[in-house]
Amino acid sequence: MKTMPCCREEEVVAAVIRGNLDGLLSGHVASCESCRTAADATSLLQRDRVGKEIDVRSSNMIWARATLLVRARRRRAQRLGLIVGIVSGALAGYLTSLLVLPSGTKVSLDRTAVLLSHSLVFLLPTVVILAAVALIVYSDSRTPAIRKY
């Protein structure tokens, strides 16, 4: 027998769960194949749940793990903020030096390599940026993450 989903299914399921499938709705269920199977499935699963208590662990461990995780994330965010600040400062200095040295000349990316080889002014920010990236990678590897399956 082929049937189609009925628009009153949710109403029927809710009534079965509440335990008051009666009157008009009961009449509808008797005449509607779809709602009858919905009512049957609901009563079977509701009945199956009764008397089957599940042992669950205390919530303390989950709470403790979550607290540690949130603290670690907060620390990581603070570290990242600091690193972003340092990198921004270094980049600002780097760009300023490009504009200023040698004075009066137009900024060109082609000249950057030449300037890098001649002056610590350019090397220093690069080292800072690389160190910051290394720090980010290091802190990332030490932050406890939610388990990846």
Q: Is 34 in the site for other proteins (CB under 8 A)?
A: yes
Provide the mask over 109-148, with x wherever binding to other proteins is found by CB under 8 A and - wherever it is not.
-------------------------------------xx-
Return the structure tokens found at 32.
């509607």
Which residues between 72 and 111 bind other proteins (CB under 8 A)? 73
Q: Is 17 in the site for other proteins (CB under 8 A)?
A: yes
Q: How many Å apart are CA 44 and CA 87, to the nearest integer?
A: 63
Contact with other proteins (CB under 8 A): which of 10, 92, 108, 114? 10
- Which residue bears the tokens 């690389």? 130
Q: Is 59 in the site for other proteins (CB under 8 A)?
A: yes
Instruction: State which residue, 50 or 120, has the beta carbon closest to other proteins.
Output: 50
Return the structure tokens found at 85.
């600040």
Is the CB of residue 72 less than 8 Å from the CB of residue 41? Answer: no
- Which residue bears the tokens 């919905």? 38
Report the nearest approach of other proteins to the CB of residue 144 (Å).
Answer: 11
144's CB contacts (< 8 A; 6+ apart) are: 68, 69, 72
Return the structure tokens found at 116.
């890098």
Q: Is 50 in the site for other proteins (CB under 8 A)?
A: no
29's CB contacts (< 8 A; 6+ apart) are: 12, 21, 35, 36, 39
- Chain residues binding other proteins by CB under 8 A are 1-5, 10, 13-14, 17, 33-34, 37-38, 40-49, 52-54, 56-57, 59, 61-63, 65-66, 69-70, 73, 146-147, 149
